[in-house]
């Protein structure tokens, strides 16, 4: 991801010291945790999500090198995803499409693994798996998009091992999230991005299956060692509440602070525009300290900037929020 970082940061964290949006970060770093939170921290609920395993998925992706849409390295990444997902016992579908891009037609493939439930009503857990193409430096995308891809893989493993739930789950890996042009909205009247998620929504519409999708959870940039994921304002707020309240209960209020920000655009937006509830879980402060996003889309987005601990926190929070989300779907 993403889109106009400086605007986002002016809104979110113009001043750490004075902006109300950033007040709880200050409070959390300076004040002792309330008693309830402290006890939750001492005895956090956990899941079989293995942060080290998710981290190894990130290492494997980084090992393939830069992975832009249409590249041989992305094909290798896709083969890795398919191999892993099948090894969990999941049915894997490859959805191929060839959108018009600023580089002409580019072959892309969404990877979708399904865990059938008691009903056809479906919840999506998603990440993009391409990386942005840069000609003047080697962009490895450990965080963007290695981290979320590794986390969704590990969530898929844990859920497949646990067996069917009431809802059907699909683990979706989008191709072509990143823009080919340097800026997110610079080309194709703003449509040079989110190729995979837009394609999936159009396919669901054509197959008259949009109504079967009850919720879409998007992970993006979730591996930063200094994990900070504020509530995203374009997201469906009942999904935000389910996830962030779960994080608070688990003692992760620092990593999932209550302050809000607006990301602008990401793979959740095509689903929202189609009337499907969706949430973007994204840490857009990927840099050297609070409010700094200087590692994003640079040669600095490397394995040493992310951690198994952050991946584990995100995995646990998402997995333990699912029962709250399911309870609100009729
Ligand atoms: Zn990106």
Distance 143 CA to ligand 1 centre (A): 9
Neighbours of ion ligand 1 (CB under 5 A): 1, 132, 144
Distance 162 CA to ligand 1 centre (A): 32
Determine the structural domain holding residue 282 and report its residue range.
5-327
Phi/psi of residue 122, nearest 5 degrees: -125, 140
Q: What is the pLDDT of residues 151-204, one digit of tens each?
A: 999 999 999 999 999 999 999 999 999 999 999 999 999 999 999 999 999 999
182's tokens: 């340097």
* Tens-digit pLDDT string for the chain (330 aa): 554 443 333 333 333 333 333 223 223 333 334 444 444 444 458 999 999 999 999 999 999 999 999 999 999 999 999 999 999 999 999 999 999 999 999 999 999 999 999 999 999 999 999 999 999 999 999 999 999 999 999 999 999 999 999 999 999 999 999 999 999 999 999 999 999 999 999 999 999 999 999 999 999 999 999 999 999 999 999 999 999 999 999 999 999 999 999 998 999 999 999 999 999 999 999 998 888 999 999 999 999 999 999 999 999 999 999 999 999 998
Distance 128 CA to ligand 1 centre (A): 9
Distance 61 CA to ligand 1 centre (A): 15
Query: Can you give the CATH number for the domain in which 92 is found?
Result: 3.40.630.10
Distance 38 CA to ligand 1 centre (A): 35
Mean pLDDT of the chain: 89
Q: What is the pLDDT of residues 95-133, one digit of tens each?
A: 999 999 999 999 999 999 999 999 999 999 999 999 999
In terms of residues, how long is the chain? Answer: 330
Q: How many domains does the chain have?
A: 1
């Amino acid at each position: 991801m993403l889109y106009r970082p400086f605007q986002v940061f002016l809104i979110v964290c113009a001043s750490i010291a004075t902006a109300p949006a950033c007040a709880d970060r200050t409070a959390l770093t300076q004040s002792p945790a309330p008693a309830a939170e402290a006890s939750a921290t001492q005895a956090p609920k956990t899941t079989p999500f293995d942060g080290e395993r998710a981290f190894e998925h990130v290492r494997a992706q980084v090992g393939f090198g830069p992975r832009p849409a249409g590249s041989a390295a992305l094909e290798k990444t896709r083969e890795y995803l398919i191999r892993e997902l099948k090894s969990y016992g999941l049915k894997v579908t490859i959805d191929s499409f060839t959108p018009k891009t600023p580089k002409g037609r580019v072959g892309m493939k969404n990877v979708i693994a399904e865990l059938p439930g008691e009903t056809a009503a479906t919840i999506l857990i998603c990440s993009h798996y391409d990386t942005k193409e840069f000609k003047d430096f080697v962009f490895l995308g450990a965080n963007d998009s290695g981290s979320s891809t590794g986390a969704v893989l590990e969530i898929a493993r844990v859920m497949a091992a646990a067996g069917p739930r009431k809802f059907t789950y699909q683990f979706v890996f989008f191709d072509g999230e990143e823009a080919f042009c340097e800026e997110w909205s610079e080309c194709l009247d703003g449509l040079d991005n989110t190729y995979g998620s837009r394609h999936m929504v159009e396919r669901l519409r054509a197959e008259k299956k949009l109504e079967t999708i009850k919720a879409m959870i998007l992970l993006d940039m979730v591996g930063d060692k200094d994990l900070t994921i504020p509530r995203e304002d374009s997201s469906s707020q009942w999904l935000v509440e389910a996830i962030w309240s779960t994080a608070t209960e688990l003692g992760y209020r620092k990593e999932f602070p209550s302050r809000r920000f607006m990301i602008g655009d990401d793979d959740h937006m095509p689903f929202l525009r189609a009337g499907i509830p969706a949430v973007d879980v994204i840490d857009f402060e990927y840099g050297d300290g609070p409010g700094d996003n200087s590692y994003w889309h640079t040669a600095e987005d490397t394995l040493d900037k992310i951690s198994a601990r952050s991946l584990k926190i995100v995995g646990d929070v998402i997995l333990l929020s699912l029962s709250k989300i399911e309870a609100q779907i009729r």
